[in-house]
Amino acid sequence: MIVRPKTTWFLMLFAWHGSVLHRVLAPLLVNFLLGVLAVWGSSHASHFFPHLNPVPFSLIGVALAIFVSFRNNACYSRYWEARTLWGGMKNQARDFARFVITVPDLHKDDPQVARVLNLMVAFIYALKHQLRDTDPRPSLVRLLDENEVDQILRRDCRPQYVLECLQRQLVAWHRQGRYGDIMLESGLRKLDALNAVLGGCERIRGTPLPYAYDVLLHRTTYFYCALLPFGLIGSIGLATPVISVFIAYAFLAWHAIASELEDPFGEEPNDLALTSMSIDAERAVRQAVDAKDMPPRLMPDLNFRLR
């Protein structure tokens, strides 16, 4: 995720990191060369180069813009929902920590409380690594013993197994008489809320937008941008390369941004900062027991990128 302070309108024109310009620079260069070729052909070999009517390009451009907007809205909806799920999970983790340190009538320093809170944090990191297809062991070994870590890593859905461990502990406290049926049901509802977050994230991660949309938009956009200089040359002349690149940049950048937002859990510059969000959620849980050994918050790097 790109996190940078507000800057002036002039400096914003030259922003590079997070602008997806590096992803569209090569096709923009090709478009510029086609524009130069159209200008040269119009003045030196006009009988070999087509002079296309610009009117169809206006109509096609409007239709293409509508289609690009549709895909961008669909991709941003996935990003928005993912952000909402992770933001809600932080609140639910804090709420569950409050339940654990008050309802079972155990001291904050009790090993059982510490283990449950570590399992809660382990759920957050297990979910993050599952969404990014990375190894969760380094994050789990500092929270749980080796046996529990091995048990978690043997599962396909590791966050689900962590929720199972949490539920076992809640049921054990209930059988010990530390709280009644109503409070048990309240605790299980909190786990259900976490399970809903898990299911929502899996749905976003496992169901990308239909591939046909991506292929159609890709082909249409690049074909339109390639022919655009030959449609503009008759009306704007020498300005064709510049205007053509400007129009192509708008369409190609929209396409690139949508591709990044389609999978909001990835590690591209404009994806969610899951590592930072996981650490913030852990700190929220740790603060419930006044922990002193909390991990430090992550800060954006020199490229304003928060991971």
Cα(191)–Cα(94) distance, integer angstroms: 12
Q: Predicted confidence band at 50 (pLDDT cuts at 50, 70, 90)?
A: low
pLDDT above 80 for 10: no
Q: What per-residue confidence (pLDDT) applies to 176?
A: 92
Residue 51: DSSP 8-state: -
- ∠ CA 122-200-152, nearest 5°, is 30
Q: What per-residue confidence (pLDDT) applies to 281?
A: 92
Domain residue spans of the chain: 51-287
Percent of the chain exceeding pLDDT 70 equals 97
pLDDT above 90 for 58: no
